[in-house]
Amino acid sequence: MATKNTFDYDLIVIGSGAGGSAAATIAAREGKRVAIVEADEFGGDSSNWSEVPTKALLHAAHLYDEARHGARFGLRSATLGYNYPSLRAWKDLAVSRTGAGGNRRFYETQGISTFSGIAHFLSPNEISVNRRHLSAAHFVIATGSTWTIPDIKGLDKVGYLTPRAVLYSVKPPKSVLIVGGGDIGVEIAQLMAIFGTKVYIAEKASRILPHQDHEVGDLMERVLREQKGVTSLTETRVLSAVKDGLGKRVTYSRGGVEKTVLVEEIIIAAGRLPRVDMGLENAGVKYTPKGIEVSERLQTTNKHIYAAGDVLGRDSNTHSALLESRIVANNIFHKAKAVPDYTGTPSLIFTYPAIAHVGLSEDDCRKRDLVINKAIAPLNMITRSNTSDFRDGFVKLISDKKGILLGGTIVAPHAAEMIHELALAVKHGLTADDIAQTPHAFLSWSEAIRVAASKLS
């Protein structure tokens, strides 16, 4: 049996995004010999092309949209304009300020060896990167996921954008068809519509945001249509695309009828698949196209190889990937093993109004045959909706028959900040009455949480 000293490193982390970064830095700070391999830009998806830049643009868009509609408050802002190159410069500044994007130098200052290239397993303890062989006692696979490109006839010929490519657009297209009405598709739809793009969303499910409770999808479809002119084509399958002059003519099937729409650009946001093409069979790691198999301790079928983040194929997010990365570092180097606890983990969608969810949804409860109570408090029930002139939203709470909170959804201007009260309740088994009896500050949006909870208590 080879001792660990015969290997180049104690740990090699493949992927420098949220799933890999914490494990690499924790191990390095504990004095381990660590290397990190990145096939793309250091810092991974969230920092470079996903959450950070997208949310920076969405913040600017919402600010612009609010100001433009300021006449109702007595503000003369109807002639407000924007400069798209300046918006892109702001996005780039936000990415650089976070320090996590393009952060190869950060790892090197931590004493971590960095390698750019695609990692491929040659054996359970050895990988190749750009024809260079590297060995380690342990590995963490955190290669993330990539956008799946649906089988649409002619798509490769006419060309398309992914949400990543959208960030590099010189200017917003005049019209766009977004294939996929999930979280990212809806965020991009609102972003582009605010800057004047005519947007169509094609979604296979019966509503946009199909993984949320139906009230969320129904509300956002109405908000996008009434405020931004977005057309939601639900229960729709995109069949083909051909060039038509300077545009792209897309044929789709809806309700058994084929129709076409002419747009300047097509954006594919119809789901992601884990990056698992790295010779895992050479390392004895079991996987499918849907992700790497791991134990509850995030150990693969090869006991010295772990995996974290999107490569697991779960409905993940950045904060869960960071949690998994920390757990993996602990389980590799410490005797007391840990299991990630996802209870009370919120999910966020940065539309306006924002959407935040924690715990079980109504669909989740139905699949589990749980007997539940539910209550909805529309935002227009609280005074803040009047002082801010904003009524499109609600708080929905779900409890069991004993009143213990099982889940909650908030659609409101500051939903991302409000959700943690419900996350705490779900994580620690609090009841709706516990929430209802807690004083909630007058004129805060959070009063809607108290109202919803009081309906259940």
Rounded to whole angstroms, the Cα distance separating 113 from 264 reads 44
Instruction: Give the number of residues written for the chain.
Output: 457
**Residue 378, preceding bond cis, omega within 30 degrees?**
no
**Residue among 308, 310, 314, 237 at smallest CA distance from 270:** 237
Is residue 125 exposed (0-12), middle (13-18) or buried (19+ Cβ within 10 Å)? buried
Instruction: Indicate if the alpha-carbon torsion angle 94, 389, 219, 457 is positive or negative.
Output: positive
Rounded to whole angstroms, the Cα distance separating 158 from 112 reads 43
- CA 214 from chain centre, in angstroms, equals 19
C-alpha dihedral, 64 to 354 to 19 to 407, nearest 10°: 170
**Residue among 435, 432, 437 at smallest CA distance from 457:** 432
Count of alpha carbons within 13 angstroms of residue 176, beta-carbon side = 31
First to last CA, the chain: 62
Domains identified in the chain and CATH numbers: 4-43+102-146+273-333 (3.50.50.60), 155-270 (3.50.50.60), 347-456 (3.30.390.30)
3-state secondary structure of 235: coil
> Angle at Cα 46 formed by Cα 423 and Cα 325, nearest 5°?
65
Rounded to whole angstroms, the Cα distance separating 264 from 437 reads 54
Tell me, what's the pLDDT at 3? 47
Q: pLDDT truncated to tens, each residue of the chain (457 aa)?
A: 444 469 999 999 999 999 999 999 999 999 999 999 999 999 999 999 999 999 999 999 999 999 999 999 999 988 899 999 999 999 999 999 998 888 999 999 999 999 999 999 999 999 999 999 999 999 999 999 999 999 999 999 999 999 999 999 899 999 999 999 999 999 999 999 999 999 999 999 999 999 999 999 999 999 999 999 999 999 999 999 999 999 999 999 999 999 999 999 999 999 999 999 999 999 999 999 999 999 999 999 999 999 999 999 997 899 999 999 999 999 999 999 999 999 999 999 999 999 999 999 999 999 999 999 999 999 999 999 999 999 999 999 999 999 999 999 999 999 999 999 999 999 999 999 999 999 999 999 999 999 999 999 8
Rounded to whole angstroms, the Cα distance separating 288 from 274 reads 9
Position 236: which residue type?
Answer: T
Query: What does the block give as tokens for 193?
Result: 């519509």
Tell me, letter by letter, the H, E, C secondary structure of 254-275: ECCEEEEEEECEEEECCCEEEC
**Using an 8 Å Cβ cutoff, are 423 and 344 in contact?**
yes
**Using an 8 Å Cβ cutoff, are 210 and 203 in contact?**
yes
Rounded to whole angstroms, the Cα distance separating 457 from 9 reads 56
Tell me, what's the pLDDT at 350? 96
Rounded to whole angstroms, the Cα distance separating 59 from 90 reads 11
Residue whose structure tokens are 């090197």: 108
For residue 123, give the H/E element and its range: strand 119-123
